[in-house]
Amino acid sequence: MLLELARAKRVDLAQISVGTLEEQFGETVATENARCGVPLPRLADWLIMAA
């Protein structure tokens, strides 16, 4: 998920702050949940992978 987000936003992971990354991740999770009702266990998996 993190790599997908970095590629989609064309982000250099070495140059991004953790706070900015967390904010973008939260926005992505909220969008996916609203768009297609991603199940909570999958969202939890994404959170674990991002950590």
The pLDDT score that the predictor gives to residue 22 is 81
Binning pLDDT at 50, 70 and 90, where does residue 1 land? low
Q: What are the angstrom distances between the C-alpha of 18 and each of 23, 28, 29, 37?
A: 9, 15, 16, 26
**pLDDT tops 80 at residue 23:** yes
d(CA 23, CA 41): 20
d(CA 14, CA 43): 25
- Over range 21-33, report the average pLDDT: 81
- Over range 34-46, report the average pLDDT: 78
Residue scoring higher pLDDT (17 or 5): 17
What is the chain's Cα-based Rg? Answer: 11
